[in-house]
Structure 1
Amino acid sequence: MTARSDPATAPLLTVSDVSKNYELHRSPGARFLRQLLGPLSPVNPRLFPAVRDVSFELFPGEAIAVLGRNGAGKSTLLQLITGLLKPSTGRIALPPRVIGLLELGSGFNPDFTGRENIWINAAILGLRREEIKAKLDEIIAFAEIGDYIDQPVRTYSSGMFLRLAFGVATAASPDLLLVDEVLAVGDIFFRQKCYDRLRVMREGGTAIVLVTHSLTDAAEFCDRGLVLSEGRMAFYGDAVEAVEYYMHHEREARTGTRAPRKELARTDGDAAQGETGEDGRPHWLDDPMSIDLSSMAQIGDPDSATVERLFITDLEGHPTRVFHQGDWVRIHASFLVHAPVKRAILGIAIRNEKNILVHGKNGLNVREDSPTDVQPGTRLELVYDVKLDVGMGEYTLDLALAEIDDLVFARRGELPPEDLAPHVIMLRVINGTGAISVITQRRGNGATFSHYGLADLPNHMTAHAFTAAKQQTVGAPSC
């Protein structure tokens, strides 16, 4: 629990109605005239609001994630907080020691050794000579670059450089640390080490503002989230809810006003499947949380069908995009058919951040029947429930509609994949539709993460201890 729970604790950072406007001039001459004459200039530039009326507080030990699409104003906000930019309006109250990791290694001299750069940069960050001397071994140990510490930093690999720069910056023990995407450039081991260091800093009372495109990091590491859209505060609240809002409103739209959350009345896990209104349309097609896919790029024959909409919920029908490991997700997709289809095969695939296929399924892989003799104007609906026994991270969905002959479909259980594939006619495919984020599993008897790797396969694990007197078995089946 952060110090915010104590009403007597004052915020470390207060941002009150902060805006930043830039002047946009028609030509370099107009800009020069404006700089020369100031307010007396006859040229009236157009104002571009990079940040508009942003307000929030941050308490000791808290972390807030700043989310938004490129150009939303995230980096500008951080530069305002660090003092690199002055706000056009509003007020920012800061603690005594603020460090901004806006660009790792800024100020490092490539011709100086790593050790020399530690002394120089630590002094720039406000550490006294005695403090630098006391922390020198800690910084060198964090960087893990061995004898290279006494070599010019221009000879370092990018990973070595990042570890050294991060070690120097975090050794300064700031009251407030601002991090702008710098952790995204390191490998997984570097990021793990950095977040371990950040957690220790939070326990010591350091507050952290994290700008990131990693929604998993935002949901797991931060207490609260701030979503910016064209410089405005689109959402401010709990970190997981901020990730939910961003995935619903900002990923598939350039900007957006928050749509009202529509809670669907579900009484059991099967209620969402096959529900239609009086016009024969599935109820979820009109839900504001569903995603319009009709304007997205689709592969295949446009005269055959269109992938219409996507809707992602839990098993109770509540729209959500953030799931714990082991949760079930329900995926709804609709296809509008424009030409006759002999036997319709609907398919879905889940891909991870590296675009690796983690899981895929289609109508050929299941025992259930598939729609046959589908006529133009028919709407096909795919409802797919899947358990997310996968690694933590972000995943995207691919959707597909294919056609196959009825006779071949009837023999699908007999034919090997190489004989079945030539008979499948792909009609429509859409890649990278909706996205979901998988975070650590709910607290239980095991660790907060369920496994290593891409997927949690069905398994059984026991541990045995053998002594001279007896055999001891420890463990329980897991699946």
Structure 2
Amino acid sequence: MGAIQIKGLGKAYKQYPSQWARLAEWIVPFGAQRHQKHWVLQDINFEVKAGEAVGIVGSNGAGKSTLLKLITGTVRPTAGEVVLHGRVAAMLELGMGFHPDFTGRQNAIMGGQLLGLSLETINNLMPAIEAFAEIGDYIDQPVRTYSSGMQMRLAFSVATVQRPDILIVDEALSVGDTYFQHKSFDRIRTFRKEGTTLLIVSHDRYAIQTVCDRAILLEAGHVKMEGPPIDVLDYYHAMMAERDHYKIRQLALADGRVATISGTGEVYITDAQLLDESNQPVKSVKVGQDLNLVVSIKARVDLPRVVLGFMITDRLGHCIYGINTHRLEQPLENMVAGEEATYCFRFPARLGKGSYSLSLSLSRFDSHLDKNFEWRDNALMFHVFNTKREDFVGSSWLDAKVDITRQPMHE
């Protein structure tokens, strides 16, 4: 079983005012220091236990890739230490270690040897590598003729042909076709069930939430937040929308979840209720029941355009349905300071049994990432139960019907 321990980890690079200063320090190593240290990562501490899956998220330049390089040993730390227990397989920069003039088969052999496999073992595993990569006759062509997706297929196939104790994956899996991405994550999930420890960097919210037990948010080389994937990702996406000094705050809910609220506050939500057909507040909803979502807002300043949207997610944070008044071609235009407005969305709860949350967004156009007036995660919670519909499984009630025709036997 694999485990990872990160203790006081830091990485700094030397910055020189000029090339002459670099040369002078090299010629006179014991003279005056002519550089400054630029810390890419500093004071990173966390542990990934055996069999655990942890996702690393953060904006570009936050230090995610540097952290993985330090963990895998391709970059030496300036401070702190990394302790690894178990055999490690890593998918970092796409095609890292591949020689462009060697064939895919030759690169696969070299890649397997770098993982510590014997030549005999690699040759025995080569059919499995070829079958998973699905690049056909290109396996015997130079890698320089490959597309980026083909390189990723081969690199992932080699790195995971045997189940490692620790699997480290960078954003390379975002390259390539959807089919192979699903295939790769299916293999990762299988490894997880068998006990592999996983450390993954991805901007894919679905991947982090479905695969990981925990998430870590990096910002400017420091750990900004650590916790359940849903809470960390909600905060991260609110932070990504943060412009013009938007405020971000988090509120603890009764069920232990966290509501993230962010935005400029130029227009804000004053009230939100989920009502039944009789306009009574509901927290328990029957499958197929007609619902009204009533949201009231108020403007603090004059605004040329306001869009309200909502999104329903299940307990794992998967988006079930989302819509806004921009997509419905009903934006509110020329709102003046002090003006109030009330929206009423009507829809049937064609949902499966379980707990759901409803998030709200006030923006200028289709996305709150463009202009975030207010983004409120987990604004409302409700539970769906089934008493009158067929005993179906899944998150959506499709009310399927079936006709069956039996063919008579001919003697």
Normalising by structure 2, what TM-score? 0.72
User: Counterpart amino acid of 2:338?
Assistant: T
- Residue number among 19, 24, 41 corresponding to 2:10 in the alignment: 19
The 5 Å alignment of 1:246-285 reads 246-252=236-242, 259=249, 261=251
Root mean square deviation of aligned Cα? 4.6
2:398 pairs with 1:462: no
Instruction: Provide the C-alpha distance between the structure 1 equivalents of 2:296 and 2:59, rounded to a whole number of angstroms.
Output: 26
* Alignment-mate amino acid for residue 40 of structure 2: A
Structure 2 CA distance for partners of 1:214 and 1:437, relative to 1, 3 Å:
farther
1:379 equivalenced with 2:302 (yes/no): no
Distance in 2 separating the partners of 1:17 and 1:257: 30
| CA separation of 1:212 and 1:59: change in aligned 2, threshold 3 A | same
- Is the CA contact (8 Å cut-off) linking 1:234 and 1:258 kept in structure 2? no
d(CA) in 2 for partners of 1:252, 1:238: 21
How far apart, CA to CA, are the structure 1 residues paired with 2:128 and 2:335?
A: 70
1:20·1:87 contact (CA, 8 Å) conserved in 2?
yes
Query: Which residue type is aligned with residue 379 of structure 1?
Result: E
2:263 counterpart of 1:291: yes
Q: 1:262/1:168 Cα in 2 relative to 1: closer, same or farther (>3 Å)? A: closer
Alignment-derived partner of residue 283 in structure 1:
none
Tell me whether 1:104 sits opposite 2:64 in the alignment: no
The match for 2:214 among 214, 224, 228 is 224
Q: Partner of 2:314 in structure 1?
A: none
Check whether the contact 2:268–2:362 (CA below 8 A) recurs between aligned residues: no
Task: Label 1:59 to 1:45 Cα distance change in 2 as closer, same or farther (>3 A).
Answer: same
How big is each residue's C-alpha offset from its partner over 1:304-334, in whole Å with a ceiling of 9 and x where there is no partner?
Answer: xxxx457998969xxxxxxxxx999987754
Matches within 5 A, 1:398-417: 399-400=363-364
Q: Call closer, same or farther: CA 1:338–1:117 in 2, change over 3 Å.
A: closer
How high is the sequence identity, in percent, across the aligned residues?
A: 30
CA distance in 1, matches of 2:68, 2:184: 20
Question: Structure 2 vs 1, CA of residues 448 and 154 (structure 1 numbering), >3 Å: closer, same or farther?
Answer: farther
Q: Which protein has greater RCO, CA pairs closer than 8 Å, 6+ apart?
A: 2
Q: Which amino acid aligns with 2:117?
A: L
Which residue is 2:316 aligned to?
none
More moved, 142-151 vs 208-217: 142-151
Is contact 1:26–1:45 with CA below 8 Å preserved after alignment? yes
Distance 1:432 1:182 in 2: 30
SS of equivalent residue, structure 1 residue 200 = helix
Count residues in correspondence: 363
Taking a change above 3 Å as real, the CA distance of residues 448 and 132 of structure 1, as seen in their structure-2 partners, is farther
Letter in 1 for 2:97: G
Unaligned 5+ segments in structure 2 are 276-288, 312-321, 352-358
Specify the alignment match of 1:113 in structure 2: 103
Q: Tell me: CA distance 1:172–1:364, structure 2 relative to 1, closer, same or farther (3 Å).
A: closer
Q: Distance in 2 between matches of 1:258 and 1:336?
A: 18
Is 2:84 the counterpart of 1:94?
Answer: yes
Residues 467, 103 of structure 1: CA spacing in aligned structure 2 closer, same or farther, 3 A cutoff? same
Give runs of aligned pairs for residues 66-465 of structure 1, distance below 5 A.
Answer: 66-252=56-242, 259=249, 261=251, 289-292=261-264, 308-309=267-268, 334-336=298-300, 338=302, 347-348=307-308, 359-361=323-325, 377-381=337-341, 399-400=363-364, 431=370, 433=372, 448=394, 450=396, 459-465=398-404
In 2, are the aligned partners of 1:290 and 1:312 still within 8 Å (CA)?
no
Which residue type is aligned with residue 21 of structure 2? A
Instruction: Give the distance between the partners of 1:338 and 1:123, measured in 2 at CA.
Output: 65
TM-fit CA distance, 1:226: 0.5
Q: Summarize the Cα distance change of 1:170–1:32 in structure 2 as closer, same or farther, 3 Å threshold.
A: same
Is the CA contact (8 Å cut-off) linking 1:63 and 1:209 kept in structure 2?
A: yes
SS of match in other structure, 1:290 = strand
CA contact (8 A) 2:260 2:377 kept: no
Q: CA deviation at 1:397?
A: 6.0
The verdict on how the C-alpha distance between 1:156 and 1:46 changes in structure 2, with shifts beyond 3 A counting, is closer
1:75 CA drift (Å): 1.0
Question: Does 2:32 match 1:29?
Answer: no
CA shift, 1:338, in A, is 4.2
DSSP-derived class of the 2:130 partner: helix
Offset of 1:468 from its aligned partner?
5.3
For the 8 Å contact 1:223–1:238, the answer to whether it is kept is: yes
Structure 1 gaps of 5+ residues are: 1-9, 265-286, 295-307, 317-325, 352-357, 402-428, 451-457, 470-479
C-alpha distance after superposition, 1:359-384 (max 9, x if no partner): 44379989xxx999x99542335556
Compute the TM-score of the two structures, normalised by the length of structure 1. Answer: 0.63
Distance 1:371 1:171 in 2: 55
